[in-house]
Amino acid sequence: MSSVPPPVSSPECGLKVFWDDRLISYDFGTGHPLNPVRVELTMALAREYELLDAPNVVVEEFEAADDELLGLVHDPAYIAAVKHAGATGLPELRHGLGSPDNPVFLGMHDASALVTGASVAAARAVWTGGAEHAANVSGGLHHALSEAASGFCVYNDPAVAIAWLLANGAERVAYVDVDVHHGDGVQAAFYDDPRVLTISLHETPRTLFPGTGFPNETGGPGAEGSAVNVALPPGTGDAAWLRAFDAVVPPLLEAFRPQVLVTQHGCDSHALDPLAHLILSVDGQRTVYAWLHRLAHRLAGGRWVVTGGGGYELVQVVPRAWTHLLAEAAGRPIAPETATPEPWRDFVRRRTGEVAPRRMTDGTSVVEVVTWGNGYDPANPVDQAVLATRRAVFPEHGLDPMTGL
């Protein structure tokens, strides 16, 4: 075993957090897995740690995305359908609105446009030099397609943010998605565009929605190698997941040299998540946040746009994971053994009736990993998945699938 500690972060990085209490209006209703209480608890925990009051952190207002912005990714007829459904409460089933995954709710367009506006504001802040890093933890709705809602996602805020960057002069944007589900909507939006490298590490589509994200999905004509998919077997935990990340993400970002790094941080890869079958801990997730932070500084000039994503263990996982994410992006990482603040635990009990976690760790301060450089194990299903991805895309970037050089 070799140790892969959380990389050293740049101290006190400038961070803008785009937040508005109205973001919790993105709400599919009682019983739906995507309960907005998860972002409410996240922001409450971040405030208790005084992250949002740090001198290098600014909480900033923003405007909802208008039709022109949404139209960078979404078809006008779909935008009209979202508005109609949100105004009338009536389904638009041909556009995926009114399904069990995506039930219609009043005000749906306004709430969805607000989430998208926050991600575009984050991209604008980073691209124009208004901030080194920018975050929208309510975002990361990566399944929405150009003409349809999908997988709890109405508008695809990361895709719209990336499209805005391209429209404003960016020539190379990398998108890394660590959600347990394949980032299919973002991949689809840029499948034929060599200016965007999409990398998704997810549970294999053989066992999980949306059923896409196989290694042979590598980009359209003229954009071969621009879509990268690591399809991991159920039961993959911290060490194996981080081994896969190490084997794929750094070498491809090194070859691509993005001007901006956009990341989606669905924390539904956690062992407690009720909708999937990977078994990461908060500590493994915290480690990859630090890794991505270092990569943003080393390869993208520090320009890092951070979004949330999935995550359906609303109390035990999401608030801690995304508070670690915000702390990391601010260059103020929280020590894993830190106790969660008692006022926050009291708020959790009043708000949800649940007992909050007492520490910011699941018990592992440093995750031990056998890195890819230590050798390929042909009997290991994670290594098999990694090698399938490397064989599919590394040659398109001038890299050897075995050595990564």
For 87, residues 6+ apart whose C-beta sits below 8 A from its C-beta are 106, 109
Q: How far is CA 248 from CA 35, 70, 198, 199, 305, in A?
A: 32, 31, 12, 9, 20
Please tell me the chain's helix, strand, coil percentages from 3-state DSSP, rounded to the nearest 5.
40, 15, 45
> Residue 401 is which amino acid?
P
DSSP string spanning 36-82?
THHHHHHHHHHHHTTGGGSTTEEEE------HHHHTTTS-HHHHHHH
| Cα radius of gyration (the chain) | 20
Q: CA nearest 385: which of 226, 154, 228?
A: 228
User: What is the Cα–Cα distance from 104 to 386, expressed in whole angstroms?
Assistant: 39
For every residue of 130-172, DSSP letters joined together read S-SEEEETT---TT-BTTB-BTTBSS-HHHHHHHHHHHTT-S-
Residues 6+ apart with CB under 8 A from 49: 323, 327, 334, 341
Structure-block tokens of residue 57: 């952190």
Distances (CA, A) of 74 to 113, 116, 195: 12, 12, 19
Query: Catalytic residue positions?
Result: 182
Which of 258, 282, 256 lies closest to 268 in space, CA to CA? 282
Per the CB < 8 A criterion, the answer to whether 249 and 199 are in contact is yes
CB atoms under 10 Å from CB of 129, counted, come to 9
Residue burial 335-366, b: 16+ Cβ < 10 Å; e: rest: ebeeebbeebbebbeeeeeeebbeebbbebee
**Neighbouring residues of 327: CB distance < 8 A, sequence distance ≥ 6:** 46, 49, 51, 333, 334
